[in-house]
Amino acid sequence: AQSVTQLDSHVSVSEGTPVLLRCNYSSSYSPSLFWYVQHPNKGLQLLLKYTSAATLVKGINGFEAEFKKSETSFHLTKPSAHMSDAAEYFCVVSEPPRGGADGLTFGKGTHLIIQP
Amino acid sequence: KAGVTQTPRYLIKTRGQQVTLSCSPISGHRSVSWYQQTPGQGLQFLFEYFSETQRNKGNFPGRFSGRQFSNSRSEMNVSTLELGDSALYLCASSSGRLAGQETQYFGPGTRLLVL
């Protein structure tokens, strides 16, 4: 079964400094991995996804993530935080359904706080 | 293209009642998935429908059911509501051609409060 662990429930950075949100996953198959962002009272928006192509994935708003199979990690980074980045971030793992499997499995989320 | 729409956006029910939530996917998308989001359990997968058939199912009791119509619109039903069913219910759509690899596009959610 697939699972995903977001290592930090809260991350606080100053505006203009780098952002690192950590994610480890577990999967029996070659998974697809995603990062979604949820702003308050809004739905989920895709930031980026990995589906077995390039291991360094670039997403929207300057975010990127690197798939490291040996470490089973998919950490999200951004060189310079902006106030508008304050939100909840979800790391997601997905495997092709195998007769009643799990669909998307979400991490518990990381709340990103941006200090002025 | 219009995004995923969900109705109603807010709902208040009492224990024991039943509720039906609706989701209209992005035009051309044939897969609709439902998720429950609560502060305690986070985001959990309920089920996925593709071409009017349930293709995938999460670990929820039988009180949670769904269906999909020929136009890909989907409804989710919860019977005999419990206080613990209070949550944000999110619907997501995708083309459905590459199950497990596709981007899912989420609606704004329906916030259900059970009293």
DSSP string for residues in B20-65: EEEEEPPTT--EEEEEEEETTTEEEEEEEEETTEEEEE-S--TTEE
What percent of chain A is predicted at pLDDT more than 90?
68
Q: CB-based contact (8 Å) between B106 and chain A? A: yes
Convert the pLDDT of each residue in B41-60 to its tens digit. 999 989 999 999 998 888 89
Convert the pLDDT of each residue in B52-85 to its tens digit. 999 888 889 999 999 999 999 999 999 999 999 9
Q: Average pLDDT in the A53-62 region? A: 90
pLDDT band per the 50, 70, 90 thresholds, residue A95: confident
pLDDT at residue B57, rounded to an integer: 86
Residue A25 pLDDT greater than 60, yes or no? yes
Question: How much is the CA Rg of chain A, to the nearest whole Å?
Answer: 14
Chain A residues closer than 8 Å to B99 by CB: 96-97
Strand pairing partners for A23? A6
pLDDT band per the 50, 70, 90 thresholds, residue A52: confident
Residue A100 pLDDT greater than 60, yes or no? no
Q: CB-based contact (8 Å) between A86 and chain B? A: no
User: A44 and B92: CB-CB below 8 Å?
Assistant: yes
pLDDT at residue B100, rounded to an integer: 65
Strand pairing partners for B37? B43, B88
CA B96 to the chain's CA centroid:
16
Rounded to a whole number of angstroms, the distance from the CA of B67 to the nearest CA of chain A is 16
The count of C-alpha atoms lying within 13 angstroms of the C-alpha of B3, restricted to the half-sphere facing its C-beta, is 13
Chain B residues closer than 8 Å to A42 by CB: 108
pLDDT band per the 50, 70, 90 thresholds, residue A101: very low
